[in-house]
Amino acid sequence: MQAPPGPAAAAPKTRPRAGMVWIPAQQFLMGSGDPDGFPDDGEGPPRLVTVDGFHIAATTVTNRQFSDFVRDTRYVTDAELLGASFVFQGQLGAGANAWASPRGLPWWRIVEGASWQRPEGPGSHIHERPEHPVVHISWFDAQAYCAWSGQRLPTEAEWECAARGGLHSKRYPWGDAPPQDGRTRCNIWQGAFPDRPAPGWTPGPLSARSFEPNAYGLYNMAGNVWEWCADAFTPHYHRLTAAHNPAFLRDSGRRSMRGGSFLCHASYCNRYRVGARNGNTPDSAAANSGFRVAR
């Protein structure tokens, strides 16, 4: 599904920078040689890289924060311009106006009227979810918010450095322990994917401050919603980027995403590992796509 970019955002009147965390300059082992990884994603080979110090938000941008942006600029997102967006089938209520599933993605529905304000389509709303991650956000939408707020998207290297929380070569932001080894550490799929969620668990994002933060104080660096990064996506990232402040900015038709979402599961999409990566076209939006900011 293709959509044109939304209109340019107005210059910022305010710069909402509360909740930023300082990540010190450091060298770390980036990437993954995990046998559970996906060769086509280009997770590795792992290598030492150096990043300069930067700030990154403790949480993804919330509905409340994005509402402030839209109220100030009257920005219209790509999903709103298109009139529809992707929603997971298990999130839909009766009577939703859903189009046919996209080819190869039988658990998704294209829902007329779904957008950041109506995450599951008409009849749903964000009024009781102000601190949830804003979703149905394209890369272009995220860039518009950044321009308004005087911030930017993190690079993949910055994102991974921050997600690791100072831990060396661990699978997850908290270490190597599985996400659900007697305690729940992140919002990923519970049950049998894609049609048998575990009793008591409902598919969808949780509050942006759910679960314990990592050692840097960052929330939900695994699961919940996918997070856009500044880089263009290439499976050859680790072979094409520098060892100091790596970034791949050559247009590839896709943009990088990190962190996985509530739809990730070990049996299907275990990209909630810190070294995992994915990409999508920059005009794409869905019920599990959001972003966090850096500066």
Successive 10-residue mean pLDDT values, the chain, 295 residues: 40 58 98 93 97 98 98 98 96 80 87 96 95 98 98 98 97 95 89 93 97 98 98 98 98 98 93 97 98 98
Q: What is the DSSP letter of 56?
A: E
- pLDDT of 98: 85
Q: Is 125 strand, coil or helix?
A: coil
In one letter, which amino acid is 261?
S
Cβ neighbours of 20 (radius 10 Å) = 16
Q: What is the DSSP letter of 267?
A: T
The domain ranges of the chain are 20-290
Q: Are 191 and 197 in contact (CB under 8 A)?
A: yes
The two tokens of residue 269 are 């999409």
Whole-angstrom Cα Rg for the chain: 18
pTM of the model: 0.93
> How far, in Å, CA of 264 to CA of 186, rounded?
11
> How far, in Å, CA of 225 to CA of 133, rounded?
7
The two tokens of residue 259 are 């962190």
How many CA atoms, within 13 angstroms, populate the side-chain half-sphere of residue 66? 31
Q: Is 262 strand, coil or helix?
A: coil
**CATH number of the 20-290 domain:** 3.90.1580.10
> How far, in Å, CA of 160 to CA of 80, rounded?
31
Return the axis-axis angle of helices 139-149 and 63-73, rounded to nearest 10°: 70
Report the alpha-carbon angle 131-22-134, nearest 5. 20
Which one, of 168, 179, 162, lies nearest residue 223 by Cα? 179
DSSP-assigned states of every residue in 209-236: T-S---TTS---SSBSSEEEEEEEP-TT
